[in-house]
Amino acid sequence: MKVLEGDYRTWLPLVGPTAVTIGVYDGVHLGHQQVLRSLAAAGMPVVVVTFRDHPLRVINPEATPPLLTSIDRRLEILAGLGVSVTAVVDFDDDFRMLAAEQFVEKLLVATLRARRVAVGSGFRFGHQQLGDIELLHQLGRHHEFDVDDVAIFEEGVPVRSTVIRALLREGDVRAAARLLGRPHRLPGVVIPGDKRGRAIGFPTANLAISPDLLVPGSGVYATYVTVASEMHQAVANIGKRPTFGGSESVVEAHLLDFTGDLYGQELCIDFMARLRSEHKFSGVDELVAAIRDDVVEARRIFGAEV
């Protein structure tokens, strides 16, 4: 997959015609995947126009949502789906001032050579978001490209990144995975913790997570953890560890049947199922008993997948 980055005005024109889709593509969920399949069926190279950061970071920073996927993860998934070109736009104040007509003429037509364009319902573009689907259709007729306005549903539920974020915040990682087409993945670097897990027989890897990424709601989860390309079964906890009087939320994972030093390594947690909510236990013995039950239930879930 070819990746276009930097100032879009320096990009060399593609060899057209192409089928183009535009959006944040956060999560690259089933809705996104259906759009990509429909564009691929047109028999032209598929081009995805996405953004390095969420446009709201410039338009309305306080409303910027946490991301389901970093830009590197998005590119990895898009490449795996057979996308020919991904154009990563730096949505800054200069790009924000680009009029809707200029966006189409300079980027979609002159550079990307679009002959088919697919966007989600409610798509807005250009300075002050004055461009809408109707204008895109008009410009398409003028510049000779077709426009598809796409709305995707899965089992009656709209497949949108906002819906998936809401499910993850509630801890419903299974429902989120159904809409994503894969488990939600959370990368992080292992940092030193207070070693309480090791003291009670369940050592955990404590992760530093990018503040830009969405962390599921508090609770205990059955997960897979990838370390140096090797996947391990694990039980992860997200929360403040109230039994020990914690005040700050942490993300920690206990890898089953694993020994080794993980400090400084990057782990990726794939969330399979929520086991229970986080709550305060009467003491360490009750907590240890609960963790043992968590491990048993997690192994049952992993076994059911075989």
Q: CA-to-CA distance for 2 and 44, rounded, in angstroms?
A: 15
Q: What distances in angstroms separate CA 127 from CA 143, 149, 254, one per listed residue?
A: 20, 20, 48
Q: Which tokens in the block code for residue 222? A: 């059955």
Q: CA-to-CA distance for 276 and 289, rounded, in angstroms?
A: 14
Q: How far is CA 176 from the centre of its chain?
A: 11
Q: CA-to-CA distance for 123 and 151, rounded, in angstroms?
A: 11
CA-based max dimension of the chain:
72
- β-partners of residue 220 are 237, 276
Segment (H or E) for 177 = helix 173-180
Going by DSSP bridges, is the β-strand pair 153-154/46-51 parallel, antiparallel, or unpaired?
A: unpaired
Whether the Cβ atoms of residue 212 and residue 186 lie closer than 8 Å to each other: no
Count CA within 13 A, CB hemisphere, residue 28: 25
Whether the Cβ atoms of residue 118 and residue 21 lie closer than 8 Å to each other: yes
* Active-site annotation holds for 105: no
Q: CA-to-CA distance for 301 and 183, rounded, in angstroms?
A: 14
Looking at 76, 252, 286, 305, which residue is catalytic? 252
- Residues annotated as catalytic are 252
